[in-house]
Amino acid sequence: MLSGEGADELFGGYPLYQSEWHFGKYQKVPRFIRKALAGIANALPNFKGKHFITAGAMEPWERYARANYVFNAQSASAVLKGHPQVDFPPLASKPVFDKVAHLDPASQTQYADIHVWMAYDILVKADRMSMAQSLELRVPFLDKEVLETAMQIPAKYRATKEQTKTALRYAAAKHIPERSAKMVKRGFPVPLDELLRQDEYYETVKAEFTGENAKLFFDTDELMRLLDSHKAGKHNMRKIWMIYSFLLWYKEFFVKR
């Protein structure tokens, strides 16, 4: 089977690369001023432009990590048993970005994705899932010559404010319908947000959140607050799903086996 892993990382397909272009002019404002404005914005209720002000005060490695973790240090401490002090998650990204600090922010982010996200996340999942079904999976975008070509494409032909995967889209338009080549980037959404509000799935997760395994690692009262507030309309799906997945994994490998 053929799969498309690598196309976004090599050719600039993620919206995160576009967002780096939005901060271009704002980055010329002295950092201490941006930090001060971000501090004021964080203290205010949500308003249009708040994310721009707060994210614009961050370094690329901070914005990258913010986009890829579910819990910050404070919210992680809140759900863990005993509420231990938790390290600031973005620090894990900084050494990767430091290696390419001379590149533009979007290229730094791509570099991190290629060396961390792609290598240790999506390719691992693709390999495990395909092998579990006895399938041989190939990723043609990661062919050596394709990779070498992609690395020579200037940043403006990878992602801009207006478009992602610019060069790849132009190449694709020569072989497939233009409307397909210009399709908006989409992920693989599943309706977990809604499902977790339905009684059947709520009760399934509740059983794990209040069980003995959960009590080994988590403040179960805090877990139920997350679950109940989501059922009432707040959006805690990613936090709930991460903890629920961990509990199922722990039960399978450390209890059942």
Task: Convert the pLDDT of each residue in 92-110 to its tens digit.
Answer: 789 999 999 999 888 999 9
Kindly state whether residue 150 falls inside one of the protein's structural domains. yes
In three-state secondary structure terms, 218 is strand
Q: What pLDDT sits at residue 71?
A: 84
- Domain end position, chosen among 149, 181, 213: 181
Kindly state whether residue 60 falls inside one of the protein's structural domains. no
Q: What whole-number distance in Å separates Cα of residue 148 and Cα of residue 218?
A: 46
- Domain end position, chosen among 146, 181, 216: 181
Q: Are residues 222 and 158 in the same domain?
A: no
Q: Are residues 93 and 123 in the same domain?
A: yes
pLDDT tens-digit profile of 112-122?
Answer: 999 999 999 99
Q: What pLDDT sits at residue 72?
A: 80
Q: Are residues 127 and 12 in the same domain?
A: yes
Q: Which stretches in the chain have pLDDT values below 50?
A: none
Q: Are residues 173 and 89 in the same domain?
A: yes
**Domains in the chain, number:** 2
Q: What pLDDT sits at residue 70?
A: 86
Q: Are residues 14 and 114 in the same domain?
A: yes
Q: Are residues 126 and 244 in the same domain?
A: no
Kindly state whether residue 71 falls inside one of the protein's structural domains. no
Q: Are residues 228 and 172 in the same domain?
A: no
Kindly state whether residue 147 falls inside one of the protein's structural domains. yes
Report CA torsion sign: 219, 221, 227, 233. negative
Q: What pLDDT sits at residue 67?
A: 66
Question: Which of 203, 202, 211 minimizes the C-alpha distance to 231?
Answer: 202
User: What is the reported pTM?
Assistant: 0.80
Range of the domain at 121: 7-18+85-181
